[in-house]
Structure 1
């Protein structure tokens, strides 16, 4: 299991689809930013769904992998959005 932070820059017409996909696997913490724990199998499925939803010539998605959620520090300036679990 890995802890990931995902950021993206997606064409406006594809943003909502990409956001829906990422919400199935991660917590939405800020516009264009998601984070959370995920297994390798679920990550592969998520990436497959994303690849079908984006235009690889125009869009970008960054995956930052951390060993676990305990080995990093996050500082928020301003309002921190409440992290909610994924509800399916």
Structure 2
């Protein structure tokens, strides 16, 4: 499934959350990530994120069956261009 994830955590935990999310998804903007994940990997990501998070931290996940069902428009500078070619 295609995932768009964003987090809002205390600045003391930002580095840990950033490293965690980068292991699973592509960074596209501050605290925002996207990419394909299986149910198992998503479950693992959420579990690891919960171990980092404390009160008042949040993680928001949007799910779609496939990226082609979304339209993405970028206005301004694209932070981290994702290239589908290897």
TM over 0.5: yes
Given the alignment, which residue of 54, 62, 65 partners 1:64?
A: 62
Matched, 1:82 2:46: no
**Residues 45-69 of structure 1, C-alpha deviations (whole Å, 9 max, x = no match):** 11111010011x2101100001210
Secondary structure at 1:70's aligned position in 2? helix
In proportion to residue count, which structure has more helix? Answer: 2
Secondary structure at 1:58's aligned position in 2? coil
Matched, 1:41 2:40: yes
Q: TM-score normalized by structure 2?
A: 0.91
Q: Provide structure 1 residue ranges, at least 5 long, that are not aligned to the other structure.
A: none
Q: TM-score normalized by structure 1?
A: 0.89
Secondary structure at 2:67's aligned position in 1? coil
Q: Which residue of 2 aligns with 1:22?
A: 21
Query: Matches of 1:24 and 1:70 in 2, distance apart?
Result: 23
Instruction: Report if the CA contact (8 A) 1:27-1:84 is conserved.
Output: no
Q: Provide structure 2 residue ranges, at least 5 long, that are not aligned to the other structure.
A: none
Count residues in correspondence.
Answer: 83
Query: Matches of 1:63 and 1:27 in 2, distance apart?
Result: 14
